[in-house]
Chains A and B, each alone.
Chain A
Amino acid sequence: MSTGTTKLDVVVSDVVPVNDLVTRFHFRRRDGELLPTFSGGAHVVVEMRDGDRTRLNPYSLMGSPLDTREYTISIRRDDVGRGGSLFMHRQVKPGLEMVISYPVNLFSLDLRAKKHLMLAGGIGITPFMAQTSQLAGAGGNFELHYTCRTASLGTYADVLRERYGSRVRLYHDDREERIDLDRLLSSQPLGTHLYVCGPAGMINWVRDRAASLGWPSETVHFEHFAAPQPGAPFDVTLAVSGKTIRVGEQQSLLEAIEAAGVDPPYLCRGGVCGQCETNVISSDGKFIHNDHWLSEEDHRSGCKIMPCVSRFEGKSLVLER
């Protein structure tokens, strides 16, 4: 049985520029009913119908889980990406009807924690917007450390400071402010859980330091969505469905498979959930693995690929799809 999610028919109820790079989008149900309840850290997959192509990108829900009249997401414009964020920024206006998935949470709070220590970098702040709302409503103990490039690009820094005061610490790159990570990680009470969302370099740095300082891996949580990267076009044969397809420069392999009418299961579309894992039947060329799901051994073996984020360069690729 398919493990995909149910879809929601929504309408864009508001589009709010937040700063030079980030815009916030509000969705309501077209039938006027409440949206499904969700938990802090959940994302939805937004379907972007752009002419004859469809992109599906995951975005964290950033509103309060206590308010399900609308969902809100914030999207950072990526001028060199595959065009999903540019489509959202340029073409999505209030009143547009769109389709999004039910919420899925792959970055859940561990409710056993005595304290939640959150580290955000840049647009990685969005899941923490919902998580802090959830915890604040229930009297939860949290502390948020948020790194941004400049004060003017500190998306929602002002909102968070106003809501939570000294529970939020800001660090600005342009002022050379840095988290004293070792000191922070060494001074936490027993029972603290650590959450990190931001650029890959930041996630790796925090996980490494936490491991070195003896944090059990079960207490370190991270959201590692890799956006699919553009790349040179390549051809793929889908052996089960008997189709040969071309993956365009700005298209992900998963999107190209879907455009051919084949629907593998998916949840995150960011290389972490494992749903779209696909067996390679044969290949002659080089894999560009961008996922966080397969083991290094799997990557080396050339027997598996995560089509949501990974690509291929070479003569031929045959997949079991």
Chain B
Amino acid sequence: MGITFRKETFRDDFTFKNSPEHIRRFPFPFNEDAYMYAVNIEPHVVGPKGSVLENLIDVDEHYFAEMQDRALVLAEDPLRCQSLPHMTLAGWDLLELLMEQQALGYPEHFTLERDGDRWRWINRPLGIDDTFTFGDTSTLPYGPMEYITRQSQGDFCILDQRDGNLWMDAGMVTTQADWSLDFDIGMNFFEWHAPVPLAHEKGIFTRALKFLTNIQQGKPARRLNWTMTINPRLDTSPENYHKWGPDRATVTPENVGDKVHLRVELQSFWRLPRSNGIVFPIRCYLIKMDELVTQPKWARRLHRVIRDLPEELATYKGLTRYRPTLVEWLSKLDDGSPTSPGFGPD
């Protein structure tokens, strides 16, 4: 049985919703009642059936609508997809990875046939059936990275590894939490993380870089990151700040449940075999408060996390303006009883 893809929007009338099954599989990012940075990296191995980790590249009910939204963003702003000239080989690596993983996890929706370097790719949800020569860019309608990331949920940064550092030299970034590929392109790991508060002092980036440059082929890793977004808007980019920034002033006690969304990024890290680069998929999951609080444990825990979040982090994540309203709303769902360990709902 395949996935039923929802017809929904991430802009204008914001019809995005999660089905009850998708609420339960939401990757809730807090395993305790408080949050602070940690190098929370673990091996990216297959997880339980029915979770977002059932496959290493997750496809869900929002696939079709997310791909439509990406096409709209790119039509308005082609610079959301960039690849420096030396990154084409890494683009082919990524195309192979995403085609293999999607075909493996969802054979009813995707098929990859390979005959030497003659490849046929069938993407049923998007009505694509293309035959091309692997390695020959002229046989695809776009460059290899753009071609496959127009058909894959999540943002993708491809990092070149050289001089003991990682360099943001290619990417497809349309579902980002307020950062810009066009601004960061060509920067190294420390440069693009410069705005993050507190973590530098803790030496987190030095350790994280050491870990990432040692990621081995066949052994991907992952971590979760989170923020909050007003309205289910995928494209919260600095370029479009004028469209979404003012939304933060629209939160009222009456509309918290519908407007405020927890935004979780499942970030994974993979060594690319031909280019020796690293690909960093950033998969964004959204859930509105009304949906999240259907799981009482999550409601209690989120209340405590947001209430006790250090001020610098609240500012960095852009929560300052509506935090009191949100905490007040969540407090009514927190009877003070303990929460069970672990991420999952009770």
Binding site for B on A (CB under 8 A): 1, 3-6, 36-39, 41-42, 65, 102-105, 108-112, 134, 138, 218, 267, 273, 275
Taking the closest CB of chain B, its distance from the CB of A41, in whole angstroms, is: 8
Taking the closest CB of chain B, its distance from the CB of A120, in whole angstroms, is: 20
Selected contact of A37 from candidates B86, B163, B274, CB within 8 Å: B274
**B219 contacts the other chain (CB 8 A):** yes
List of 10 A-B pairs having minimum Cβ-Cβ separation, nearest first? A37-B273, A111-B86, A108-B276, A112-B86, A39-B276, A6-B218, A105-B276, A5-B216, A3-B214, A218-B163
Quick one: CB contact mask for B232-262 with A, threshold 8 Å, 1 for yes?
0000000000000000000000000000000
Q: How distant is the Cα of A195 from the Cα of B113 in the complex, in angstroms?
A: 38
Q: Which of B151-197 contact A (CB under 8 A)?
A: 160-163
Q: Are B214 and A6 in contact (CB under 8 A)?
A: no
Taking the closest CB of chain B, its distance from the CB of A288, in whole angstroms, is: 26
Q: Contacts A105-B276, A110-B162, A111-B160 known; A138 to B89 CB distance under 8 Å?
A: yes
The residues of A that contact B86 with a CB separation of less than 8 Å are 110-112
Q: List 15 A-B contacts (CB under 8 A).
A: A3-B214, A5-B216, A5-B219, A36-B218, A36-B273, A38-B217, A38-B273, A39-B274, A42-B276, A65-B274, A102-B216, A110-B162, A111-B86, A273-B214, A275-B214
The residues of A that contact B160 with a CB separation of less than 8 Å are 111-112
Q: Are B219 and A6 in contact (CB under 8 A)?
A: yes
Q: Is the interface of B mostly helix, strand, loop or mixed?
A: loop
Selected contact of A111 from candidates B41, B89, B218, CB within 8 Å: B89
> Nearest CB to that of A138 among chain B residues?
B89
**B43 contacts the other chain (CB 8 A):** yes
Q: Which of B251-300 contact A (CB under 8 A)?
A: 273-276
Q: How distant is the Cα of A3 from the Cα of B41 in the complex, in angstroms?
A: 12
**B312 contacts the other chain (CB 8 A):** no
**B54 contacts the other chain (CB 8 A):** no
Q: Which of B205-243 contact A (CB under 8 A)?
A: 211, 214, 216-219, 221
The residues of A that contact B219 with a CB separation of less than 8 Å are 5-6, 102
Chain B interface residue bracket vs A: 20 to 34
The residues of A that contact B161 with a CB separation of less than 8 Å are 108
Binding site for A on B (CB under 8 A): 41-43, 84-87, 89, 135, 160-163, 211, 214, 216-219, 221, 273-276
The residues of B that contact A6 with a CB separation of less than 8 Å are 216-219
Q: Are B216 and A104 in contact (CB under 8 A)?
A: yes
Q: Contacts A138-B89, A218-B162 known; A102 to B42 CB distance under 8 Å?
A: no
The residues of A that contact B89 with a CB separation of less than 8 Å are 111, 138
Q: Are B276 and A102 in contact (CB under 8 A)?
A: no
Q: How distant is the Cα of A6 from the Cα of B274 in the complex, in angstroms?
A: 17
> Nearest CB to that of A108 among chain B residues?
B276
- Listed residue (A36, A42, A102, A273) with the most chain B CB atoms within 10 angstroms of its CB: A102
> Nearest CB to that of B90 among chain A residues?
A111
Q: How distant is the Cα of A5 from the Cα of B271 in the complex, in angstroms?
A: 12
> Nearest CB to that of A137 among chain B residues?
B135
Q: Are A39 and B275 in contact (CB under 8 A)?
A: yes
Q: Are B216 and A3 in contact (CB under 8 A)?
A: yes
Taking the closest CB of chain A, its distance from the CB of B151, in whole angstroms, is: 21
Taking the closest CB of chain A, its distance from the CB of B170, in whole angstroms, is: 11
Taking the closest CB of chain A, its distance from the CB of B81, in whole angstroms, is: 19
Q: How distant is the Cα of A218 from the Cα of B43 in the complex, in angstroms?
A: 31
Selected contact of A36 from candidates B163, B217, B276, CB within 8 Å: B217
Q: Are B214 and A267 in contact (CB under 8 A)?
A: yes
Taking the closest CB of chain B, its distance from the CB of A101, in whole angstroms, is: 9
Taking the closest CB of chain A, its distance from the CB of B90, in whole angstroms, is: 8
> Nearest CB to that of A4 among chain B residues?
B216
Q: How distant is the Cα of A112 from the Cα of B162 in the complex, in angstroms?
A: 10
The residues of A that contact B135 with a CB separation of less than 8 Å are 138
The residues of A that contact B221 with a CB separation of less than 8 Å are 1
The residues of B that contact A275 with a CB separation of less than 8 Å are 214
- Listed residue (B84, B273, B275) with the most chain A CB atoms within 10 angstroms of its CB: B273
Q: How distant is the Cα of A258 from the Cα of B86 in the complex, in angstroms?
A: 40
Q: Given A65-B274, A138-B135, list of 18 further CB < 8 A pairs?
A: A1-B41, A1-B42, A3-B211, A3-B216, A5-B217, A36-B273, A39-B274, A39-B276, A41-B276, A102-B219, A104-B217, A108-B161, A108-B162, A109-B276, A111-B86, A112-B160, A273-B214, A275-B214
Taking the closest CB of chain B, its distance from the CB of A141, in whole angstroms, is: 13
The residues of A that contact B276 with a CB separation of less than 8 Å are 39, 41-42, 105, 108-109
Taking the closest CB of chain B, its distance from the CB of A107, in whole angstroms, is: 10
Taking the closest CB of chain A, its distance from the CB of B136, in whole angstroms, is: 11
Q: How distant is the Cα of A103 from the Cα of B275 in the complex, in angstroms?
A: 13
Q: Are B214 and A103 in contact (CB under 8 A)?
A: no
Taking the closest CB of chain A, its distance from the CB of B169, in whole angstroms, is: 9
The residues of A that contact B211 with a CB separation of less than 8 Å are 3
The residues of B that contact A138 with a CB separation of less than 8 Å are 89, 135
Taking the closest CB of chain B, its distance from the CB of A127, in whole angstroms, is: 13
Q: How distant is the Cα of A37 from the Cα of B276 in the complex, in angstroms?
A: 10
The residues of A that contact B216 with a CB separation of less than 8 Å are 3-6, 102, 104, 267
The residues of B that contact A5 with a CB separation of less than 8 Å are 216-219
Q: How distant is the Cα of A273 from the Cα of B85 in the complex, in angstroms?
A: 28
- Listed residue (B85, B162, B217) with the most chain A CB atoms within 10 angstroms of its CB: B217
The residues of A that contact B214 with a CB separation of less than 8 Å are 3, 267, 273, 275
The residues of A that contact B162 with a CB separation of less than 8 Å are 108, 110, 218
Taking the closest CB of chain A, its distance from the CB of B222, in whole angstroms, is: 11
Taking the closest CB of chain B, its distance from the CB of A31, in whole angstroms, is: 15
Q: How distant is the Cα of A112 from the Cα of B89 in the complex, in angstroms?
A: 11
The residues of B that contact A111 with a CB separation of less than 8 Å are 86-87, 89, 160, 275
Taking the closest CB of chain A, its distance from the CB of B252, in whole angstroms, is: 45
Taking the closest CB of chain B, its distance from the CB of A187, in whole angstroms, is: 24
Q: Contacts A1-B42, A108-B161 known; A103 to B274 CB distance under 8 Å?
A: no
